[in-house]
Structure 1
């Protein structure tokens, strides 16, 4: 099919965290492999890891347990892995391009200041709202980000119970919730943001499907080994057609895929990027103010206000 090209400008960017903003994926693998080696099991292959990424804990735990066949209970395994994560997660760092990307998006608040609004060349430029939508729970979030206060000081965190059991990625609920959180905090008179005005940033295949099922545009920035795992099937991944939600539904006995339609191959709603370095804002209709506007009084005041953001964490 011919790809769509008449999209409205992006007004909201919704972010996954692990493997997308932070370099945690290799640390997850390291901790898991230490335990697997202890019990004489093979290292975690990417074919299995790909199925764990992006999913809430109960679902990913069930997949892993079925594959690993460890001689200890799930509770004992989790205790061992958690102890290792406590040791290694504090070393996490932002992935390439992340700090600049978030800073650039944060500066779009400039278009709402009185000085910007009075300029003719600014009247059609819009703020880009941001939200965090991750399956990582609050405790792990704190371990990973305590040393990164500059990056995460403007986030509202919490285990959001509005994402019901079994309703995590690859189903669309978490991104619907992230959008509703942003819309609830819009300035008076600002029209609600529509799903097609949202851009989801994901590294996992279930996450891409979640964004597509939410009716949003998606940027897929996978780990190089994950990209290799899906070589030749990139178009299916970008369309959200890897059947992840159906697989999830089969585990819950509800079909899993009745919430929203997935995309079509090469429909223009999603693209692959190797990294977030030099992100193409103009392609998505986003206008980024120059760095020097941060010194203006209006922006200094705006910087004191929290950016509307929410982590929808696993139950």
Structure 2
């Protein structure tokens, strides 16, 4: 842990591509739809600008494919394949990480979910995965894209979803008579570029675990992602020089708890 940073007291997890392998399932669904229109497979250099970005991201996909569909029409076509999500599984290292954070830390951590997807789709993807159900049993800290409090919120890369998760964590902390959690005491786990930027804008620390396809196209530009920089719309906001607030990992296996001030009880 960088010396000037406090120990982590809350962990906030994205779901798709971070906890479970659904980014591959989404790609499979997209490719099935694209093939029905004689379009080429969906490339990662386009998907990188679509991930976690809601309607604007879907519109980027449609623009790239030159499909004369509305976002709503595309989403209707996706629904025909939602059964594929029942085959989702956890990604490497996730089950041990969740068990450790939920049950083995020397001091309790707040664990939260913050996903741009809807609550019903989350249930479809994860209801058969006990490690996720056990770690996130406290539903007060769940934030999904169709949450009522997200109706007027901005999608990633804006920080709204993570700030709402922190708000709910602190409501519970106050009720329990605990000191509120500061943003810098939050560790976000993300796979998308937009998610990393959102966490940085929220003032939180972030572990970026990109899909291998995303990692390949970001080769040589990893530092820009970790610093919360984006090339969307030609704008490149900068959040300062290297600050120890973000790291990139190939997977969540062998997670370095001590680097974040998290102590696992013997």
Describe the superposition over 1:207-235 as per-residue Cα deviations: whole angstroms up to 9, x where unpaired. 00000000011110000110111111111
| Structure 2 counterpart of 1:270 | 246
Describe the superposition over 1:48-72 as per-residue Cα deviations: whole angstroms up to 9, x where unpaired. 101111222x222221122122244
Paired residue for 2:16, among 15, 18, 30?
18
Describe the superposition over 1:63-121 as per-residue Cα deviations: whole angstroms up to 9, x where unpaired. 1122122244444332222211x221000001011111111111157xxxxxxxxxxxx
| Structure 2 counterpart of 1:66 | 63
Distance 1:26 1:51 in 2: 16
Instruction: Please state how far the C-alpha of 1:143 moved relative to its aligned partner.
Output: 1.5
- Equivalences for residues 120-199 of structure 1 within 5 A: 125-153=106-134, 154-156=137-139, 157=142, 159-165=146-152, 167-186=154-173, 188-199=176-187
- 40 and 165 in structure 1: CA distance in 2 versus 1, 3 angstrom threshold: farther
CA RMSD of aligned residues (A): 2.2
- Kindly indicate whether the alpha-carbon contact (under 8 Å) linking 2:29 and 2:78 is maintained by their aligned counterparts in 1: yes
| Structure 1 counterpart of 2:80 | 83
Q: What TM-score do the two structures reach when normalised by structure 2?
A: 0.90
Distance 1:98 1:73 in 2: 36
Distance 1:240 1:228 in 2: 18
DSSP-derived class of the 1:51 partner: coil
- Kindly indicate whether the alpha-carbon contact (under 8 Å) linking 1:108 and 1:128 is maintained by their aligned counterparts in 2: no
Instruction: Please state how far the C-alpha of 1:164 moved relative to its aligned partner.
Output: 4.1
Distance 2:70 2:190 in 1: 32
- Kindly indicate whether the alpha-carbon contact (under 8 Å) linking 2:9 and 2:181 is maintained by their aligned counterparts in 1: yes
- 46 and 105 in structure 1: CA distance in 2 versus 1, 3 angstrom threshold: same
- 150 and 126 in structure 1: CA distance in 2 versus 1, 3 angstrom threshold: closer
Higher RCO by CA contacts (8 Å cutoff, separation 6 or greater): 1
- 236 and 150 in structure 1: CA distance in 2 versus 1, 3 angstrom threshold: closer
DSSP-derived class of the 1:70 partner: coil
Q: What TM-score do the two structures reach when normalised by structure 1?
A: 0.76
Structure 2 unmatched runs, 5+: none
DSSP-derived class of the 1:218 partner: strand
Paired residue for 1:45, among 43, 46, 67?
43
| Structure 1 counterpart of 2:97 | 101
DSSP-derived class of the 1:93 partner: coil
DSSP-derived class of the 1:88 partner: helix
Q: Report the number of matched residues.
A: 259
* Structure exhibiting the larger radius of gyration computed from Cα positions: 1
Structure 1 unmatched runs, 5+: 110-124, 291-315
| Structure 2 counterpart of 1:216 | 204
